Amino acid sequence: MSGSVVRRTALGLALGAGLALGLAPGLALSQARTTSSPIAGFPHAKVYVQDGAGPRPVVVILHGAEGGTEAGDRYGPILAALGYAAVGLPYYSPDWAQYGPPKALPEIAGSFVDIRVDQLADLREALRGTPGVDVERFGLFGASKGSEFALIAASRYDWIDAVVAYTPTDVVWEGWGLETVEAQGVRSSFSFEGRALPFMPYRGFIEGLQAGPGKADLRAIHANGRADNPQKEAEARIPVEDYAGALILIAGGRDAQWDSATAAANIALARAEAGLQVTTLIYPEAGHDLVGDGGPRESPLSGGSPAADAAARADAWPKVVGFLAETLQP
């Protein structure tokens, strides 16, 4: 693959919108001072806690394919002001070597390949005993690839009490990185306890990226890969029925990244068949940019429209805040 194509890959990949900053009208935030602290053993991770009351429930913020610290930087203080020990956990920092911008966070994974889901168990132990932190109440807050991470983890750890999954998927997907450019369909996005998880391959991933920034039809790349590989469905499916905790799903019917609305419906059905509850918020005209609140904003890779996305955010955000309070607060 030529250097120019890899450069476009590095700059054009947009699997998963970032977590956006916003507040729901009428929701009061504490005005106490928020402090952030590093977490030993987790480069660039931070825990945000407000001064005042005793130990707070943990909410781990899991970013999408944009990687880096932005999601935690934006949502850490907001969730802390709502009464949580909010943890920004960077677990991926894109590294396309000489073909892209310098890797922002050298200490963490540079390819979205075999990301360790079990690092959450290590994180929980690292947080144990931290002032202002109650690891016995533990929630996950993810968007897009972060929701994939969150749902995989919840299906394996019974100490996860609540999951907020924006624009989710119901299967584990193929991974990507510089080393996969000439070896498509061979690496998973996630691993657990040293073993790569079975995954659903893409179709046309590299070809789509060669079209240039913003031109890849990512929804079709996912849908076509799934259509090509029905035999992988059962193994790649995330066993959400193994998670007994609380779950809220938020998805858009016009999601341009992947079909999160159908995935949310599949997850809800599996949960219902197992006698488990789930709150499902599907907005038929909305796209992928659904996290937070605030008015219309330009999100050209989202799908839907800025107005539809804004309306979905305005409706969903207070429900997400209420969900977290109901499931994690004493």
What SS3 state is found at 60?
strand
Average pLDDT over residues 61-82: 96
**At 277, which amino acid appears?**
Q
For residues 45 and 36, give the distance between their C-alpha atoms in angstroms, rounded to a whole number. Answer: 10
Average pLDDT over residues 224-251: 98
The two tokens of residue 260 are 């999160």
CA distances from 82 to 141, 159, 324 (A): 14, 22, 9
Name the E strands within the chain.
Answer: 34-39, 42-50, 56-62, 85-88, 115-116, 133-143, 162-166, 190-192, 195-196, 246-252, 279-283
Predicted model pTM? 0.92
Q: Which of 207, 123, 101, 115 is nearest to 152 (CA)?
A: 115
pLDDT tens string 181-204: 778 889 999 999 999 999 999 999
pLDDT-derived band at 17 (thresholds 50, 70, 90) equals: very low
Average pLDDT over residues 157-167: 98
**pLDDT (0 to 100) of residue 15:** 42
Supply φ then ψ for residue 328, to 5 degrees. Answer: -120, -25
Number of helices (H), then strands (E), belonging to the chain: the values are 9, 11
Give me the residue spans of the domains in the chain: 3-328
Inform me whether the pLDDT recorded for 1 exceeds 70.
no
**pLDDT (0 to 100) of residue 6:** 41
| Per-residue exposure over 145-158, b if at least 16 CB sit within 10 Å of its own CB, e if not | bbbbbbbbbbbbbe
**pLDDT (0 to 100) of residue 8:** 36
Inform me whether the pLDDT recorded for 24 exceeds 50.
no
Q: Is 190 exposed, middle or buried (0-12, 13-18, 19+ CB in 10 A)?
A: buried
pLDDT tens string 246-275: 999 999 999 999 999 999 999 999 999 999
Average pLDDT over residues 159-184: 93
Inform me whether the pLDDT recorded for 10 exceeds 70.
no
For residues 135 and 123, give the distance between their C-alpha atoms in angstroms, rounded to a whole number. Answer: 10
Give the CATH class of 3-328: alpha beta
pLDDT-derived band at 212 (thresholds 50, 70, 90) equals: low
The two tokens of residue 141 are 């807050």
